[in-house]
Amino acid sequence: MARASRTFVCQSCGAVTPRWAGRCESCGEWNTIVEEQAESSGVGGGPLKVVGKKGRQIELVSMAGETADPPRLVTGVTEFDRVCGGGLVPGSALLVGGDPGIGKSTLLLQAMAALGRKGADVVYISGEEAIAQVRMRARRLGLADAAVQLGAETNLKDIIATLETGKAPAAVVIDSIQTMWSEALESAPGTVSQVRATAQDLVRFAKRHGTAIILVGHVTKDGQIAGPRVVEHMVDCVLYFEGERGHQFRILRAVKNRFGPANEIGVFEMGELGLQEVPNPSALFLGERDGETNGSAVFAGIEGTRPVLVEIQALVAQSSLGTPRRAVVGWDSGRLSMVLAVLDARCGLTLGGQDVYLNVAGGLRINEPAADLAVAGALVSSITGNALPSDCVIFGEISLSGAIRPVSQMEARLKEAEKLGFKRAILPTSTARQRPSTGLALTEISDLAGLVAYLAAGETRRPRERRSNDL
């Protein structure tokens, strides 16, 4: 008689081990390994052997050729369509993750309602809420009249049987993938085995029927979608919904996209009528800026294909503790440690006994190294007490030697700053080929010591700034 095969699977990263352990060797998490039944087994618990005739021969084609761009389902929610690469692609699978209560269900309900009003056949399957709760949210958002078919079910077999009845819908939302379960497995819903099996069946349905499937995924305490190693590689697009509960802004970020640019962002503002699009996020992030303040710098960054200006705030204070604090919000703490070390070793600024607090205003999280110079400028400004000019933007990458390296798309950054009324910029020294064309007064800095000297000199003794059209 066939014996059930048992494995031990980490619920955080999906790693499989032959026996139970308190700590996962792959991801380092504690108490995440759970015993699960294998998805398929043969006699004696061994792997199931595939028998039967040989596989069919597939057609191979030359790489040289033309293929039409995939058609798009444009929802009309501009920021959502931008992050997806121009709209939903029929037959694709998307994974949307975010913290509980951040607005994932609200955003997808608005997107499906916009598609339904255009005549598309869309379905919203909720595994966490009853239909009455979804209808209540729709009425609050003013979407009750949209042609969206609702369902409340967690049995994957019943869901797929319903979707295959009649014409396949254009788009389907599964909220959420962790609540789905398959009868073929004995594991509880939310385990890695169930998430992997149900996600694979839904992706297979999307490819076979040309339906755009959107899966909602929960986020772990580390900010990663639960079971990322077994879900993210199955889908075509992975979106993260970010934002701080204390801010009304929400950021939808693409970290993987097979049909468009990755790292693209869409900006929304949470209001009484749901999520409202923000066409100009730079003006929004800088709207409450206090002007010329010590420890503040305006960074001109690039998020995907869009230039974004954001304020970086820093505070350096004498520490009363044996180990000074390093508090960072919106930036990489390891990168901050590197900038502090370079300021200490190359510029003579001793910060080992100081508490350092760094914040990216507006709830945006910055990932690019071009923010190094803006962070250093905010730190030096807080130390010296000399504020950066209120009409100045700053960007550049800092190397371990203290040199300031040029960054990509400098002209796009400066044009965005000029459009918002900024008059000058601090940027890395560039060659004649790299030098951007702009009307801003440019101050080029070759090393970090030059920035420290610039801020320590004060406004009256700073070197003459030049304009690019003066060259």
Helix 104-117, helix 131-140: angle, nearest 10: 80
Q: Which amino acid is at 431?
A: T
362 near 396, Cβ under 8 Å? no
pLDDT at 45: 43
**Residues 211, 216: Cα–Cα separation, whole Å:** 16
pLDDT at 224: 54
Q: Encode pLDDT of 139-190 as tens digits.
A: 999 999 999 999 999 999 999 999 999 899 999 999 989 899 998 888 888 8
Q: Encode pLDDT of 333-355 as tens digits.
A: 999 999 999 999 999 888 888 99
**DSSP string for 311-373:** EEEEEEEE--SSS--EEEESS-HHHHHHHHHHHHHHH----TTEEEEEEEGGG-----GGGHH
Q: How far is CA 234 from CA 36, 191, 215, 231, 385, in A?
A: 21, 16, 11, 5, 52
What does DSSP assign to residue 286? T
pLDDT band at 98 (very low <50, low <70, confident <90, very high): confident
pLDDT at 433: 63
**Residues 182, 110: Cα–Cα separation, whole Å:** 29
**Residues 208, 359: Cα–Cα separation, whole Å:** 47
Sign of the CA dihedral running 257, 258, 262, 268: negative
Residue 79 has pLDDT above 80, yes or no: yes
96 near 110, Cβ under 8 Å? no
pLDDT at 400: 95
pLDDT at 48: 46
Among 101-105, 390-394, 432-436, the range scoring the smallest mean pLDDT is: 432-436
172 near 156, Cβ under 8 Å? no
The proportion of the chain whose per-residue pLDDT surpasses 90, expressed as a percent, equals 51
- Count CA within 13 A, CB hemisphere, residue 335: 20
The more confidently predicted of residues 4 and 207 is: 207
Strands 6-10 and 16-17, how do they pair?
Answer: antiparallel
Mean predicted confidence (pLDDT) in 446-451: 92
Q: Encode pLDDT of 191-212 as tens digits.
A: 888 888 999 999 999 999 999 9
- Cβ contacts of residue 286 below 8 Å, gap of 6+? 298, 309, 310, 311, 420
pLDDT band at 245 (very low <50, low <70, confident <90, very high): low
End-to-end CA distance of the chain: 85
pLDDT at 1: 44
CB neighbours of residue 56 within 10 Å:
5
**CA angle (214, 242, 294) in 5-degree steps:** 160
pLDDT at 216: 93
470 backbone φψ class: left, alpha, beta (φ>0; ψ -120 to 50): alpha
pLDDT band at 5 (very low <50, low <70, confident <90, very high): low
Question: Mapping DSSP to helix (H, G, I), strand (E, B) and coil, where does residue 14 land?
Answer: coil
pLDDT at 434: 66
Q: How far is CA 447 from the centre of its chain?
A: 31
- Partners of 93 in the beta sheet? 213
User: In the numeric block, which tokens belong to residue 441?
Assistant: 């007064």
Mean predicted confidence (pLDDT) in 273-299: 83
- Partners of 240 in the beta sheet? 97, 253
Asked if the peptide bond before residue 337 counts as cis, ω within 30 degrees of 0, the response is: no
CB neighbours of residue 402 within 10 Å:
18
pLDDT at 291: 67
